[in-house]
Chain A
């Protein structure tokens, strides 16, 4: 290779390097821009429509201004409570199995793999399953079946929480040092007691944050509720009837032709996003501080 060719090639390499660096920075900006744009717009549109009435009143009939999403907030709370009561215990139980009883076994690997795959199933499919299981009329004397209900929506959301909670619980339990478990065993503490009172207790900050993450994720889910909880324009706290939910209401209002309802949709989005940002930030804060404070 001649000197000129070598120098050209070196130059080209430097140019390429600089070009790629520039492109990478550009890519970063292009990514960050919509996020910032969404947040700013959300804040702007949301805060202007947020008032006390939003939190205390139900939607007014079409044509009347004002009103709020109080029923949707309550509805979301009820749905999430039901979902958590299903998702958290079963998810934590699954995580305990993976970390404490099934570690290294083929079964545990299969469960883990399935959980990850289940996490990727579209949430609308979850809604379809819940519909087929609970909403479409089958067994006449079983409560909650046969019609749209808050119960079916809560179950759909709860099923969605299980794989997430299970995996994060497992992760956190695996971080508990073996020495702690040995200490409990050495004292003659029965295995079940050692797992619950020592291992799980030690990992509990991390487990709780995992539950918060799952909670935040299903809080914003709309698709599974479209034909289970269905939505409700009025106050309802019953598990046996359709119920309003924040993301559902936002969806309906966003598609509507009324400016007033658009306003409410923005306000609702702000509330929802605030909840999620708090949850994600808390999670980051707890995990960065060291999940297992004091464990050697």
Chain B
């Protein structure tokens, strides 16, 4: 079961560039939340603050509070611990090139010292089923390398890999933007199924995708969060004019 995320006064910098300014929002548990906005508005930076990936950049800096459940992730925990509880799927699929499909899915566990073979087999199977990839690869789990799959399959493999560690939150940074329409719709179906088990935050520049998949949507602009509300309201009756301009395609 997922947990909610509470963000207060979040500010982020890339060097001197004040990328995120005073972000406040509450992301509900076990729902999918979409973040939309034009390129460069800071939504990717935002999600990378949630799993403390932003600070891996030498010029990245964060202030403010992010609470996942009741844990203040910047004060009460180390980055490595957080990243085991918050999974991430990146824009371009990035399976580990030297590993088989099985090893890719199991990587998050094996590389953290998990060695129970029987349990691993079950976990790999379950994760691949949950990411709708099982039927396509079940006969070649250990023979095929992760990198030999098609783009859409690779991304589902990355989703399976993220799910295998049973995270409480799943962050997806434009997961379908590099994929063809068929793969995209498969992934959207996936998100739909998964959100009852995890808290999902999905960054997307595709508004239809947000509308299809998410209960709540946040609109980012120039490093600020302009509006955060139910998806239906954002897309049919937004409160802020800037939101409406973006939705109707006046810019972005």
Contact = CB atoms under 8 A, between A and B. Distances in A.
Interface string A182-219: 11111111110110011001101000000000000000
Contacts of A28: none
Interface stretch (A114-122, A143-151, A259-267, A288-296): A288-296
Interface residues of B, number: 31
A180 B104 CA distance: 12
B16 interface: no
A190 to B, nearest CB: 6
A187 B107 contact: yes
B80 interface: yes
A187 B107 CA distance: 8
B111 A187 contact: yes
A179 interface: yes
B147 interface: yes
Interface centre among B81, B83, B145 (most CB of A within 10 A): B83
A67 B107 CA distance: 56
Interface residues of A, number: 26
A187 B161 contact: yes
Interface string A23-55: 000000000000000000000000000000000
B108 A294 contact: no
A257 B98 CA distance: 56
B40 interface: no
Contact of A183 (B51, B80, B90): B90
B224 interface: no
B108 A198 contact: no
Interface string B214-237: 000000000000000000000000
A292 B84 contact: no
B211 interface: no
B104 to A, nearest CB: 9
Contact of B92 (A179, A188, A198, A202): A179
Contact of B90 (A186, A193, A292, A295): A186
Given A197-B111, A201-B98, A294-B97, A187 B162 contact: yes
A106 to B, nearest CB: 14
B155 to A, nearest CB: 12
B109 to A, nearest CB: 9
A294 B53 CA distance: 25
Contacts of A292: 97
A107 to B, nearest CB: 15
A292 B145 CA distance: 13
B112 interface: yes
Given A197-B111, A294-B145, A296-B147, A188 B98 contact: no
A190 B80 contact: yes
B36 to A, nearest CB: 22
B83 A183 contact: no
A295 B97 contact: yes
A82 to B, nearest CB: 30
B148 interface: yes
A186 B96 contact: no
The 8 A-B residue pairs whose C-beta atoms are closest, nearest first, are A188-B84, A294-B147, A188-B83, A179-B94, A187-B108, A295-B97, A294-B97, A186-B88
Given A186-B53, A292-B97, A294-B98, 11 more contacts: A179-B90, A179-B92, A182-B90, A183-B158, A188-B112, A191-B80, A193-B112, A198-B96, A202-B98, A293-B97, A294-B148
Interface of A: 104, 177, 179-180, 182-191, 193-194, 197-198, 201-202, 204, 292-296
30 contacts: A177-B94, A179-B92, A180-B96, A182-B94, A183-B158, A185-B53, A185-B83, A186-B51, A186-B83, A186-B87, A186-B162, A187-B111, A187-B162, A187-B165, A188-B80, A188-B81, A188-B82, A188-B83, A188-B84, A188-B85, A188-B112, A188-B165, A189-B107, A189-B112, A190-B80, A190-B112, A191-B80, A204-B98, A295-B97, A296-B147
